[in-house]
Amino acid sequence: MAYEKKWADNPNLNKTELKKLQKDGLKIFADIPRYAKEGFASIPQEEWDYFKWAGLYLQRPKEAGYFMMRVCVPSGILNNEQLETLAGISRDYGRGIFDITTRQAVQFHWLEIEQIPDIFNRLKKVGLSTAGACGDITRNIVGNPLAGIDPDELFDTTAIVREVYEFFQHNEDFSNLPRKYKMSISANTYNAANAEIHCVSFTPAKKVIDGKETIGFHVKVGGGLSATPHLAQTLDVFVPQDRVKDVAIAVTTIFRDYGYREKRHRARLKFLVADWGVDKFKEKLLELTGPLPSKGEDVQKGWNAGYFYGVHRQKQEGLNYIGFNVPVGRLSADEVFEIARIAKKYGNGEVRFCNSQNLIIPNVPDANVETVLQEKVFERITIQPKSFIGYSVSCTGTEYCNLAIVETKERMRRVAEYLDDHLQLDVPVRIHMVGCPNSCGQRQIADIGLQGIKMKTKDKGMIEAFEIYVGGTLESGGKFNEKLKGKVDAEQIGNVLVQLLTYFKETKLPGETFLNYLDRVGLETLQTELDRILTQVSTVA
């Protein structure tokens, strides 16, 4: 290897770290063709975890031998050939299921080991990869889905994201990190990439250098969700556009060499940043990069949460991008083929995925917009979704995920539709549902976060239930939502939310957002109302 594993002699390394010292995770790519020939039974159980480096997790139950696969899609941008290839994989091997993730990637299910080599070949032909989609490695780079066409971007980040992504692809110098490592790069002034919840984020900034205004980035480090969420902190550096890769390498090197490897639950970069502080982290960074200017002016104006519904003008005269809702991020292969056909016929073939689990068709000429909107596939996947289904996000849940303890994906869809049938509001309320504390559905930044738990009852035994969190945002640096006391039977969550949000409707001011309402009335007001609702639900039951 080209680097020294400074942690190798640490006597307190956890079991995963000891395994990684023996074999790099990326080596699994060389093993997969053999396993594909010999079948799932030939894979030793101790090798199962290595498949994460190839973007593969075993679905539940693991012993059944079906894999979930993630495909990296930097900034969520796909050309037509790539999209059709992904649709074909879903149709041919994934039982027609096509999921968009909260990190702009694509997720398949029901894959068998014998199919993986052909899938890899298909992906390679169109420049796609699963390397780094999972595992202790640099994950898919989240970016601005409107890069290059965005009136609200400081500059086009497409080439920068591609350069950084390609550097880390199959790079064994950076494939043995303490744990997962998440990066975002965006110049959208409305924080389209959710900068504060990433390990490292590059955000749009400008600074006068040698009498000339320069546009580039600020750097945030140490964000992350899961059971112990942290908001990323801004370093006192300004990064010119041509130095992004250098800084990304340096931050990743710090994580690799100094990140914690004793306990898995403490192995994220956020814990190192919290312990060191930003001043020490900056000092170590500059040792690796050389001098960088101090911070300039942050040009971010707010937070759009990755939502772009409707028809919007691009930078390019006469062209438009159209933002569509994909209910809880799930498409069928047939729908994806249709979307690819429409994008090719009426745009330039591109489709772009958002971290809100939705999609955009860009580069549609003025004359084609109405024709696009008349396509039948856009009856379900619409530019004007009802309020609750349009702002609902969900993780995979127990349907496929071994970590989840409750079902989420279809439940979130049903709950949102129930809310839309029973309630209308003058503002959107973002609801995120997650099946475990790992929070792939990003519960902490939602107006209302629903976290799955198990609850013991007198007559039913252990049942699926939810805890309710309120008040999450990434506006003005961010604030995680707070838990309301009480556990809600999963079968009652729709009913409870209707009552809670009806109370919100009846006591809010015109146009007042859920976040502003909570700031005005306080957490205890909602707690008192939830207590009343749960007492009523319990009495009825």
Active site residues: 70, 179-180, 435, 440-441
Dist. CA 81–CA 78, nearest whole Å: 8
Residue from 170, 141, 150 nearest 73 by CA = 141
Alpha-carbon gap, residue 11 to 262, rounded angstroms: 9
Show Cβ contacts of residue 535 under 8 Å, excluding neighbours closer than 6 positions: none
Amino acid (1-letter code) at residue 247: V
Rounded Cα gap, residues 513 and 8, in angstroms: 51
Q: What angle do CA 42, 43, 47 make, to 5 degrees?
A: 160
Closest by CA to 69, choosing from 56, 54, 81, is: 56
CA–CA separation, 268 vs 516, rounded Å?
Answer: 32
**CA distance linking residue 343 with residue 327, whole number of Å:** 19
By 3-state DSSP, what share of the chain in percent is helix, strand and coil, each rounded to 5?
40, 20, 35
Closest CA to 484 of 474, 496, 494, 502: 496
Which backbone phi and psi does 20 adopt, to 5 degrees? -70, -25
Find where tokens 């039974």 sit: 41
| DSSP strand pairing (461-470 vs 482-489) | antiparallel
Q: What is d(CA 208, CA 248) in angstroms, rounded to the nearest whole number? A: 23
Q: Is-contact 520 512, C-beta < 8 A?
A: yes
> Is residue 136 a contact partner of residue 199, using CB atoms and an 8 Å limit?
no
Helix (H) or strand (E) holding 351: strand 351-353
DSSP state of 34: H
Interatomic CA distance for residues 377 and 349, integer angstroms: 16
d(CA 442, CA 223): 12
CA distance 441 to 411: 13
Tell me the C-alpha distance between 480 and 228, whole Å.
Answer: 11
**Residue 389 CB partners (closer than 8 Å, separation 6+):** 325, 327, 413, 416, 417, 420
**CB-CB contact of 133 with 105 (8 Å):** yes
Distance (Å) of CA 186 to CA 154, 160, 200, 289, 503: 9, 10, 12, 21, 38
